[in-house]
Amino acid sequence: MDAAEFRRRGKEMVDHVADYLEKIEERPVYPDVEPGYLRSLIPTEAPVEPDSYEDIMKDVERVIMPGITHWHSPNFFAYFPAASSYPAMLADMLCSAIGCIGFSWAASPACTELETVMLDWLGKMLQLPECFLAGTHGHGGGVIQGTASEATLVSLLAARCKAIRRVQLLDPKKSEAEILSKLVAYTSEQAHSSVERAALIGAVMMKKVPTDSLYAVRGEMLKKILEEDKAAGLIPFYFCATLGTTPSCAFDHIADLGPLCNQENMWMHIDAAYAGSAFICPEFRPLLNGVEYADSFNFNPHKWMLINFDCSAMWVKKRTDIIGAFKMEPLYLKHENQESGLVTDYRHWQIPLGRRFRSLKMWFVFRMYGLQGLQAHIRKGTNELNQSLLKKITKSREIHLVPCQLSGSFVLRLAICSRSTEFRHIQQAWQHITQLAFELLQEHHH
């Protein structure tokens, strides 16, 4: 395929992509296939001579589509949102074309520098404390990881390295293996499985901290375990807090936990993978209070910020902590600007060596939507929409409700009032409300 054919096929593909997304609602969201369905639909070996492009595209519909779980269908409510937007897709096309592997500054300066600046832009949108930003003289800064799991692992490894060095400084006779066997990491019993997995990979003990009745970890709960563990000769070194747990969206109390971690010389990492995008709205930002005590913070713009996977944003307060845990400098990766201190070599910040030019899609999305557009995407509903819904409910005269105000939000309150109300009345009321809400949203979109 030469450039001329790519021009033709590429334009067809653009239409194909737009058609797919415009008509996605017509497809069944979850595929009706049995495990192993695909193997029998295609040859057992690669063709020796080329197939035609037409045949391949026919097979996309015949072989692939029947086995797709359509994450961008409006009927998809499983797992979590996979962000997607047209500007991000355009940027990814450009990223494929440039095709640089940005493991060091020299491997493509724009790839590294745009990433640093985009993470500063995004940090400012979240009102992260200054110390997390790179700026021109900062000690912190941001990096794009592939997934939140990798961000957790990277922070745990950095913390492990820092803890071993700290203990050895106090007691140089202690071997690394001895210290390692005493290190303990902590997280909520509600934390994502990837946190426990990070400890498994890092070969350190991990303990689950019990939560309160709202599934959140509080300072006193961690403190109690720390006292016991320290008394038993263990070395607490890392706590992973979650803002928005997977099962119930619980928020650990980082404003209490942070000072405790700081005092105990423990690294606090905050995982806000899904919820984090919301902090660009001032009304949700208080949920991030306490981040100033953290050593690292992470959330996934590829979940709720319109940037296609993979794009997990991570910030650290001291970039030397994270670089120190991984740095390897073979001659073939050295370049003359390396020692200047001005240069970021992102390969020291992550598990893989290679990396794509992922900040391009951040840049396109931030600019095409603007902060206001992104905030509108997070908020989706408005007070006005809720007011209209209440008007519709009142006008239809089937049920009766009154509203209230909660932290600036117009809220519809449903109280079970009458002695004669039965379960079926509540069910019917709920059905009625959702039906009217559905109609309202339909009108709103057209």
Position 356 contacts its own copies (CB under 8 A): yes
Toward its own copies, which CB reaches closer, 83 or 254? 83
**What's the Cα-to-Cα distance from 255 to each of 101, 183, 251, 299, 320, rounded to whole Å?**
39, 24, 11, 18, 25
Residue 245 and residue 270 in contact, taking contact as beta carbons nearer than 8 Å: no
Q: Burial level of 269, CB count in 10 A (0-12/13-18/19+)? A: buried
| Number of amino acids touching its own copies (CB under 8 A) | 139
HSE (CB half, 13 Å, CA atoms) of 177? 0
Position 376 contacts its own copies (CB under 8 A): no
Toward its own copies, which CB reaches closer, 8 or 391? 8
Position 168 contacts its own copies (CB under 8 A): no
Position 69 contacts its own copies (CB under 8 A): yes
Position 125 contacts its own copies (CB under 8 A): yes
In the chain, the N- to C-terminal Cα span, in Å, equals 42
Q: Any bridge partners for residue 144, and if so which?
A: 313
Position 232 contacts its own copies (CB under 8 A): no
Toward its own copies, which CB reaches closer, 28 or 263? 28
DSSP 122-190: HHHHTT--GGG--TTT-S-EEEEES-HHHHHHHHHHHHHHHHHHHHHHH-TTS-HHHHHTTEEEEEETT
Least distance to its own copies, CB of residue 88, Å: 8
Query: Which residue from 384, 393, 387 is spatially nearest to 430, judged by alpha carbons?
Result: 393
- How many Å apart are CA 446 and CA 431, to the nearest integer? 23
Position 247 contacts its own copies (CB under 8 A): yes
Site residues (CB under 8 A) for its own copies, limited to 282-341: 302, 308-310, 326, 328-330, 332-333, 337, 340
φ/ψ of residue 313, rounded to 5: -90, 130
- Retrieve residue 401's tokens: 């409700």
Query: Which residue from 270, 165, 172, 266 is spatially nearest to 222, judged by alpha carbons?
Result: 266
Position 229 contacts its own copies (CB under 8 A): no
Position 371 contacts its own copies (CB under 8 A): yes
Query: Using CB under 8 A, which of 25, 42, 58, 421 touches its own copies?
Result: 42
- How many Å apart are CA 337 and CA 317, to the nearest integer? 23
Toward its own copies, which CB reaches closer, 305 or 433? 305
Q: Which stretch binds its own copies (CB under 8 A): 80-88, 221-229, 252-260, 418-426?
A: 80-88
Query: Using CB under 8 A, which of 119, 143, 144, 153 touches its own copies?
Result: 153
Site residues (CB under 8 A) for its own copies, limited to 10-29: 10-11, 13-18, 20-22
Position 49 contacts its own copies (CB under 8 A): yes
Query: Using CB under 8 A, which of 128, 144, 148, 437 touches its own copies?
Result: 148
Q: Which stretch binds its own copies (CB under 8 A): 101-109, 408-416, 419-427, 438-446?
A: 101-109
Query: Using CB under 8 A, which of 143, 158, 185, 192 touches its own copies?
Result: 192
Residue 207 and residue 184 in contact, taking contact as beta carbons nearer than 8 Å: yes
